[in-house]
Amino acid sequence: MKSIISATILLSSLASATPVRREPGPYEITNFFASKTHNSAHQTFDFFVTAPSLPEPVNCHAGLDGGFGGATWLAYVWDGKCDNPAVTWTFNNPMVEYNVANPAIFNVTVDGVRGTYNMPARDITVWLNNEPNPFDNDVAYTGPANFSITQFFGEE
């Protein structure tokens, strides 16, 4: 009996020592939505991630307060969550020029492998409806709803 248990432990440790190598990507992003609510500082992000290691598309969502300055750039999301905990994400749209759309970096991590997407400024639109009132101004992602992440970094 004892030797059967040892054999089982040995087999399972062999299995974990030789993980199956999976191609990390591409990560397909579909229905990407990021927008500020008019007359509010609230911003919403929503999209789906499909990746070779995921059995089905994963929905990711964030609703957060962009703050007083957030009327002309998309909010910084540093702990983005999804309906599958194997997937996390960040979104960083730093203000380079005030009242102008600026490029952003969108990172999606699946099973510890981070993919990075450089979002060009032309895919983000700023509407200056009433410059002195930031909540009246708006910002939204207006690029393609579906795109691929093909740039990967090592295990985190």
Ligand X SMILES: *[C@@H]1O[C@H](CO)[C@@H](O)[C@H](O)[C@H]1NC(C)=O
Q: Where do contacts with ligand X occur on this chain (CB under 6 A)? A: 30-31, 78, 90, 92, 105, 107, 114, 116, 145-146, 153
Alpha carbon distance 21, 149 (integer Å): 19
Q: How far is the CB of 52 from ligand X (least distance, A)?
A: 16
The sign of the torsion formed by the CA atoms of 108, 109, 111, 113 equals: positive
Q: How far is the CB of 32 from ligand X (least distance, A)?
A: 9
Q: How far is the CB of 51 from ligand X (least distance, A)?
A: 14
Q: How far is the CB of 147 from ligand X (least distance, A)?
A: 9
Three-class SS string for the chain? CHHHHHHHHHHHHHHHHCCCCCCCCCEEEEEEEEEECCCCCEEEEEEEEECCCCCCCEEEEEEEECCHHHHCCCCCEEEEEECCCCEEEEEECCCCCCCCCCCEEEEEEECCEEEEEEECHHHEEEECCCCCCHHHCEEEECCCCCEEECEEEEEC
Q: How far is the CB of 144 from ligand X (least distance, A)?
A: 7
